[in-house]
Amino acid sequence: MADVSCGIEIPDSRIAREAAELVRQHESEMLFNHSVRVYVFFEVDGADAAREFLRSHGIPERKANLVWEAIALHTTPGIPAYMRPEIALTNAGESQTCALVSATLPGVAEPL
């Protein structure tokens, strides 16, 4: 039976289970959980949720929007490097994670 997270069905095919196991064998639980969140909440959805969460806790709009931009652009190549430092650093961190995964698990980050 497939898992459901926030109304999104997580694939339960043999290849999906094997892919999940591969990530769990080579990466931390934190990175695995991040991968699941990225599958369920794509960048803009996650950015929207984070901004609403911050607003609901009284964080100023300027800061909430900064978080939105950093999350929404964290996988966008090129542009974030020319934006505010928080956005550039979030993108750089994502780029380093992708480079590490590619170096550690050759072929995993390549398209099918």
Torsion angle defined by CA atoms of residues 36, 111, 90 and 79, in that order, rounded to the nearest 10 degrees: -140
**Co-location of 64 and 103 in the same domain:** yes
Whether residue 102 has pLDDT greater than 70: no
pLDDT-derived band of residue 112, with 50, 70 and 90 as boundaries?
very low
pLDDT-derived band of residue 63, with 50, 70 and 90 as boundaries?
very high
Q: Torsions phi, psi of 107, nearest 5?
A: 90, -20
**Co-location of 48 and 76 in the same domain:** yes
Which structural domain range is residue 73 located in?
Answer: 41-112
Number of domains the chain contains:
2
Express as a percent the part of the chain with pLDDT over 70.
79
